[in-house]
Amino acid sequence: MATFSKTITVKSDIQNTFNFVADFRNLHKWNPHDEATLTSKEPLRSGSIFEVKTKFNEREINLNYEVIEWGPPLRASLQSRNRNFVITDTIFLSANNKGTELTYTVDVKFKGIFKIIGPFFNKQFNNLMENIYELEKILGPA
């Protein structure tokens, strides 16, 4: 399994930060290659499903992300599974005297042939993690 993680501190309070980041319908605002639609009913909770249209390695792909953990305002995890991999995005939040510390972690478990070739994509995943700094701009740098 490969793990990628970034931590930032933003001015936004913890609840507003959680509401913005954990709702993947906002994904396109800070990750320009992604567009997400909620395909399950409101309210957001464990079991909610987002369809995410993304670009990876110059290819467009559709992923279904299911909310597998919903613990506002401290933590949320969303997971996508297909025949090549399991991707789990986890958002950890904590309040501090500057605002909110946000850690975004992506765990990628490759399957099948991707167990061999998957590690060659680590650079692309690291590059995607740089988008976390767009959240800092949107939610206000501390």
Q: What percent of the chain has pLDDT over 90?
A: 76
Q: Which CATH code fits 2-139?
A: 3.30.530.20
Cβ–Cβ under 8 Å, residues 57 and 121: yes
Both tokens of 110, joined, read 């490759």
Confidence (pLDDT) at 118: 67
For residue 71, CA distances in Å to 13, 29, 133, 140 come to 16, 23, 23, 23
- Span 103-138, pLDDT tens digits: 999 999 988 877 777 677 777 777 878 899 999 999
Residue ranges in the chain modelled with pLDDT below 50: none
Distance CA 97, CA 32 (A): 30
Confidence (pLDDT) at 113: 78
Confidence (pLDDT) at 62: 96
> What are the structural domain ranges in the chain?
2-139
Confidence (pLDDT) at 86: 96
Confidence (pLDDT) at 56: 76
H-helix or E-strand spanning residue 107: strand 99-110
